[in-house]
């Protein structure tokens, strides 16, 4: 069975994914208090309330910008075109 991705493509995907993960881990500077804190319990949620608020807030922000750009582009395309301009092209 033939693989959908070639070896070089797999290397590029791996490079890109590892780069983003390492950037995410490198943004928080190490501190003594971080190393000495107790581990979280098994039943604790992975995403805290503050994280959820930030995620949802950013999602709303991005959707607002994307839909604004989309509707602006649609309105621009629906305007009547100047027929003389089309003849020149």
What pLDDT score was predicted for residue 55?
Answer: 95
Neighbours of 52 (CB within 10 A): 11
Within a domain: residue 20?
no
Within a domain: residue 38?
no
Within a domain: residue 73?
yes
What pLDDT score was predicted for residue 87?
Answer: 55
CB 24, CB 17: distance < 8 Å: no
What pLDDT score was predicted for residue 80?
Answer: 66
Within a domain: residue 2?
no
Please give the residue range of the domain that contains residue 57.
Answer: 47-79
What pLDDT score was predicted for residue 50?
Answer: 94
How confident is the model over 69-81, as pLDDT tens digits? 999 988 887 766 6
Within a domain: residue 61?
yes
On the question of pLDDT at 28 being above 70, the answer is yes
Within a domain: residue 62?
yes
Within a domain: residue 52?
yes
User: How many domains is the chain partitioned into structurally?
Assistant: 1
DSSP 80: P
Within a domain: residue 70?
yes
What pLDDT score was predicted for residue 30?
Answer: 75
């Amino acid at each position: 069975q033939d693989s959908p991705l070639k070896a070089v493509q797999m290397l590029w995907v791996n490079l890109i994914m590892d780069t983003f993960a390492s950037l995410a881990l490198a943004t928080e500077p190490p501190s003594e208090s971080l190393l000495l804190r107790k581990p979280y319990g098994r039943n604790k949620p992975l995403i805290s309330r503050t994280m959820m608020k930030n995620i949802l807030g950013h999602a709303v922000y991005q959707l607002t910008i994307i839909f604004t750009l989309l509707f602006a582009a649609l309105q621009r395309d629906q305007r009547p075109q100047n027929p003389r301009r089309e003849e020149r092209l």
